[in-house]
Amino acid sequence: MTALPRHTRLTFHGPLSEPRAAQLVARLTRHTPKTVLDIGCGRGELMLRILEATPEAQGIGIDLDTDALARGRKAAEQRGLTARARFVEESATGTTRGPADLVLCVGASQALAGRLPEALAELRRLVSDGGRVLLGEGFWQRPPTETELSRMWPDAAATDHHDLATLIDLAIEAGFRPEWTETASLDEWEEFESAYQADTEVWLAEHPGHSLAAETQERVDRHRAAWLTYRGVLGLAYLTLVPVAREAGGPMSQ
């Protein structure tokens, strides 16, 4: 039986270019974190690069995707990071893995809580004072129309995301200050979405009579239609967040 290809052209599971990834690694390692926690890590590519840049750091990635975790473990072994990088299959909800000096949560806030304010509160709980959080979170670049929403993911609603200003306000309310704000470019989105489907598109072209072709084509065409609809409407913010220090024995300082 011919196996369907699995995202062999993806480096990161999101719209993240090599130049931006390098800038993020440089910024996030400036304070030399000793512990790194990656929420919804997938294959943990960004965490592994951070560990390579900080030889004394230890990292833990948690996810429920067994295939992605296996790929992460293999990548860690290939880079000589097995002793410092752990990939654990478990839910992030209520995790006791923190606090960590650096917490990565890229496209995975839903793994912490159903609503963003609660997810941000969890991130504040999981990061050490003086540490950093990298939050990769979707936002509306403009309000989507009802027609656009109907062509996106199932049950898509305008309340699924905030605008960028509200997203940052929520982070501040949760006890952070935004050290750096940046957003994925259209080129990054197009590279990610194309790479996400490229292997399958080629497979479909080469196996038109396969028993899985019709089902696979329907799924791929549906995904493409969705991302071409949210192209330029849905953005992704990369927020480098600094936790506001808590006063000893008192409430969080303002």
235-249 pLDDT tens trace: 999 999 999 998 754
Domain ranges for the chain: 18-185+234-243
Please, are residues 40 and 61 in contact by the beta-carbon 8 Å criterion?
Answer: no
Q: How far is CA 211 from the centre of its chain?
A: 33
Q: How confident is the model at residue 3 (pLDDT cuts 50, 70, 90)?
A: low
% of the chain beyond a pLDDT of 90: 92
Does residue 169 have a pLDDT over 70? yes
- pLDDT tens, residue by residue, 130-166: 999 999 999 999 999 999 999 999 999 999 999 999 9
Distance CA 17, CA 1 (A): 35
Residues 181, 27, 188, 14, CA torsion sign = negative
What phi and psi values does residue 226 have, to the nearest 5 degrees?
-65, -50
Tell me, what's the pLDDT at 14?
95
For residues 194-219, average pLDDT: 94
What one-letter code names the amino acid at 146?
E
pLDDT, tens only, 48-100? 999 999 999 999 999 999 999 999 999 999 999 999 999 999 999 999 998 99
CA 47 and chain centroid, separation: 11
CATH 3.40.50.1820 fits 18-185+234-243, yes or no: no
Q: Give the DSSP letter string of 83-139.
A: TTEEEEE---TT-----EEEEEEES-GGGT-SSHHHHHHHHHHHEEEEEEEEEEEEE
- Measured CA to CA, the distance from residue 44 to residue 48 in angstroms comes to 6
Q: In what order do the strands lie in the sheet with 100-106?
A: 85-89, 58-63, 35-39, 100-106, 127-140, 234-243, 176-183
Structure tokens at 155: 């049950």
In the structure, what pLDDT confidence band is assigned to residue 254 with cuts at 50, 70 and 90?
A: very low
Question: How large a percentage of the chain has pLDDT more than 70?
Answer: 96
Confidence of residue 252 (pLDDT cuts 50, 70, 90): very low
